[in-house]
Homo-oligomer: A and B are copies of this chain.
Amino acid sequence: MSRCENCIIRQLNALKALSKDELKAISDSKTERRIKKGEKIFDENESLDGVFCVRSGASKLSKLQENGKDQIVKIAGSGEVLGKRSLIAEEKANLSATALEDMDVCFIPKKEITAKIYTNPAFTKELLQQLAQDLKNSENSTIDFASKTVTQRLAHTLLHLKSQAGEDRDGFLSLSLTREDLASVIGTATESCIRHIATFKKKGFIETQAKRIKILDLEGLKALE
């Protein structure tokens, strides 16, 4: 069983502001969970009594639409704390979280977090700043959807996936989404997404091998977004 005090992942989120003793308390009350690809971590409208700290693996945060399609809002990988917003707002989850790969997450009960918000100013500051960043990212994402074309959003998303999840030793994006999920991230129909990918291939910007994508011309993609 791993200990929060020794976990490097916490450097990536607000938990880094906690003292060794505080981390020990969290460590004692947390539970580790292994989540298989495709499993849900939590569902929209679910009451969460804690947060999930992602140790490894990527997840998607999405919301089911009336037409039955799942609209992805964000891809969240290691270091992210899922359920943070719901915990702070004291509301049910607005989005559901689903594993895109096998994941290791730690569940930290609500009381461990809320207690510290009012007693550890450094932690509070981190939380506020994290929310402020999330808000900026979300606003910028809204702007992209409102004013950019599918081509631009695809280029942007591929570049984002490269910097967020990285590449494997063959140069392919480490996180390969299905075309359906990629289309949802971009906010378009699966077929439309596939066609734009085909265009990018023809233009030499990318190369694919089954669902995997390799970026060949970074500058070319940057010029598009």
State the A residues within 8 Å of B (CB).
63, 65, 67, 69, 71, 73-74, 85, 88-91, 94-95, 117-118, 121, 124-125, 127-129, 131-136, 138-143, 145-147, 184, 187
Contact = CB atoms under 8 A, between A and B. Distances in A.
Nearest to A186: B146
28 contacts: A63-B140, A63-B143, A65-B143, A67-B147, A71-B147, A73-B139, A73-B143, A85-B135, A88-B128, A88-B129, A89-B133, A89-B136, A94-B139, A117-B124, A117-B128, A124-B124, A128-B128, A131-B131, A131-B135, A134-B135, A138-B142, A141-B142, A142-B142, A145-B145, A145-B146, A145-B187, A146-B187, A147-B187
A132 B136 CA distance: 12
A138 B74 CA distance: 12
Copies in the complex: 2
Contacts of A124: 117-118, 124, 128
A94 B118 CA distance: 28
Contacts of A141: 142
A118 B128 contact: no
B143 A71 contact: yes
A67 B16 CA distance: 41
Contacts of A133: 89
B129 A90 contact: yes
A127 B94 CA distance: 19
A182 to B, nearest CB: 13
Question: Which of A121, A141, A147 has the largest number of chain B CB atoms within 10 A?
Answer: A147
Contact of A69 (B73, B147, B187): B147
Nearest to A143: B71
- Among A65, A88, A89, A146, the one with the most B-chain Cβ atoms within 10 Å of its Cβ is A146
A131 B94 CA distance: 14
A139 B138 contact: yes
